[in-house]
Amino acid sequence: MSRPPRLLLTTVFGPYGIRDEYAEALGMQMELFNNQITREQGVHSPRTNFWTFPLYFLAENLSSVFTTVLDFPTWEDFVRELENEYTHVGISFIQPNVLKAKRMARYIRNHYAQTKIILGGYGTILPDLKKIVPCDEICRGEGVNWLREYFGEDPREPIRHPIMHGVAQKRIYGFRDIIDDSAVIFPGLGCTNGCFFCSTSHKFDNRYIPLLPSGESVFDVCHKAEELLGVDGFAIIDENFLKMPDRARDLLAMMERYRRPYSFAIFSSAETIAEVGVDFLLRLGVCLVWIGVESERCPFSKTGGINVSSLIGELQAKGITVISSSILFLEQHDRVSIEQEIEWAIALGSDLHQFMQLIPFPGTPLYSKYVSEGKMIPDFPYAKLHGQDELAFYHPHFTSKEAREITRRAFRKKYNADGPGVLNMALTAIRGYQRAKEDTKLRERAGLCWNPPALRYERSATYQPDEFMNLRLEKMRERALEFRPLLLSARLFSPNKASRNKASRVATLYNKVFRRPTLRERARSFTLVCLAFIEWSRIQLRRLVSRRDMVRQPSTRRVCYSPCSPTFCEGKSLNSLQPLPTAISGSRSVSQ
């Protein structure tokens, strides 16, 4: 009789961000911010790792298979875990980690020949993957349906969304708990915009696959997370969340009905924001938005006809942090125009900016074009396919290796021009709070109410005070205050005089909007300066001794999901939920 299936879902092994025979250091830190947003900002750079959320999502949605999720294992953790007699091991990886996946798969083949190996994640787009990594199956698209069918379960079963924090480890100036915790929401996969370079869009055939199709389903997850984890902020992992505007409208309606002013960090393209308007984003509780502005020279339909500079300005003026991102080394770029693009991106004045090199990922129209034109560099190492180092293709004006220095300089320029990203975020938060207070008063005086179908404030014959906006204002106030203790460190470790002056101006604005800092707040600021100094020394020492930028490795997490067990979430029972609007569906047993 065959054994019941036991599945291990694992990420690739650490350490991360360290160059060895399996992976690179630059661009591979498992730290989104320090890797490619606040790169070159030294001690000001938030050091954050995110849990590998899709693995928990997959585990949660298998009902008949004992499943373990192993997140950020060391090699020793991985080897030890295999002793638990798994029938199947799923390895999730991105392209630059393919050699780590290879080592893991080989080890399984050599020591557990009966165990089936399943590969998943963005690494599966590599055309010669089967030749590199020994495996039995490759899951290339949406994984829940795939795994359910593979294990003989019904793919039409409702989707269960795990309730969990998104951040594995977070430090700002070396301090752990400076910004409030948030949970993660995974409403859907893919994007219909189909930008020519975009791996995400083309991996899912330019389709959007909703996992949480309605505003109500998103609200349910928020409510559970609030009850179980005590959070009211959420990172929405969806390439273009507002592309389904009705879902977002319904989510707002639910929050208004139940007086829950949750806040969200989202990804959105510019045309989608323009469609729904910044006032809607603010009311919805978007506190951070990542927008791909891509390029001034190369036209994209998502930015066509939109003044991205004023859109970003309006978002920030209303208190919404903007991460913009642009692409370097497009075909249109030569030595002059690439500098102009960098200047343009910096002049947008976003709080944070990602410079990403053009990467022809397999599966995209860009890749097909470059292959047919013979532009791809033969045998370019996949480990370097991360967009922060060398180019994987022949560019008419730049050598592959030059790209590294130009990219590094772009980050440096942004840092020198605008100062630390966290300082910009503080400025946006305080200005936004100030403005939102004034706007709310003005609307009250003018008798304007929120009109949901029109997505704007309008004069109404049945005027009611805007209770929900007052709740939202309180959240904005709390968010602005979270940044306050950072200001002294931002000033003392400033890269230049302009940045120091900016930090002083922001501190003055805080004093004006709130009051002068209390003794407790001052003590917190000074503690942070001490920690920042320790962190700064640690970074310098690490660079001196090992030329590495990794300060800490994320710790390993192991979560087991048993079929047919009572419901738990990060150690708490879903049964403890206070009843709110709709039936809350169950969740599988989780133990750590």
**Which residues are near ligand SF4 by CB under 6 A?**
191, 193-195, 198, 200-201, 239-240, 269, 292, 302
- Answer yes or no: are the C-beta atoms of 264 and 255 closer than 8 Å: no
Nearer to ligand SF4, 202 or 502 (CB): 202
Nearer to ligand SF4, 195 or 429 (CB): 195
- In whole angstroms, the minimum distance from the beta carbon of 304 to ligand SF4 comes to 12
- In whole angstroms, the minimum distance from the beta carbon of 358 to ligand SF4 comes to 12
Q: How far apart are CA 386 and CA 359, in angstroms?
A: 8
DSSP string for residues in 421-433: HHHHHHHHHHHHH
C-alpha closest to that of 232 among 422, 475, 49, 430 = 475
Paired strand residues for 264 = 234, 286
Nearer to ligand SF4, 192 or 537 (CB): 192
Nearer to ligand SF4, 37 or 191 (CB): 191
- In whole angstroms, the minimum distance from the beta carbon of 294 to ligand SF4 comes to 8
C-alpha closest to that of 450 among 244, 282, 272, 288 = 282
C-alpha closest to that of 262 among 244, 235, 243 = 235
Paired strand residues for 18 = none
Sequence-separated (6 or more) residues with CB below 8 Å from residue 534 = 174
Q: Enumerate the H helices of 305-419 as residue ranges.
A: 308-317, 335-347, 365-372, 402-418
Nearer to ligand SF4, 35 or 201 (CB): 201
- In whole angstroms, the minimum distance from the beta carbon of 327 to ligand SF4 comes to 9
- In whole angstroms, the minimum distance from the beta carbon of 198 to ligand SF4 comes to 3
- In whole angstroms, the minimum distance from the beta carbon of 222 to ligand SF4 comes to 23
Q: How far apart are CA 116 and CA 432, in angstroms?
A: 53
- In whole angstroms, the minimum distance from the beta carbon of 250 to ligand SF4 comes to 22
- Answer yes or no: are the C-beta atoms of 488 and 517 closer than 8 Å: no
Sequence-separated (6 or more) residues with CB below 8 Å from residue 371 = 360
Q: How far apart are CA 552 and CA 149, in angstroms?
A: 39
- 177 CB burial (10 A radius; 0-12, 13-18, 19+): exposed
C-alpha closest to that of 180 among 287, 278, 283 = 287
- In whole angstroms, the minimum distance from the beta carbon of 190 to ligand SF4 comes to 8
- Answer yes or no: are the C-beta atoms of 288 and 267 closer than 8 Å: no
Nearer to ligand SF4, 302 or 318 (CB): 302
φ, ψ (nearest 5 deg) of residue 288 = -150, 135
Per-residue tokens: 43: 């001690």
φ, ψ (nearest 5 deg) of residue 256 = -65, -45
Nearer to ligand SF4, 193 or 263 (CB): 193
- Answer yes or no: are the C-beta atoms of 308 and 348 closer than 8 Å: yes
Nearer to ligand SF4, 191 or 251 (CB): 191
Nearer to ligand SF4, 32 or 253 (CB): 32
Residue with structure tokens 């693009």? 341
- In whole angstroms, the minimum distance from the beta carbon of 182 to ligand SF4 comes to 21
Nearer to ligand SF4, 201 or 354 (CB): 201
- In whole angstroms, the minimum distance from the beta carbon of 325 to ligand SF4 comes to 9
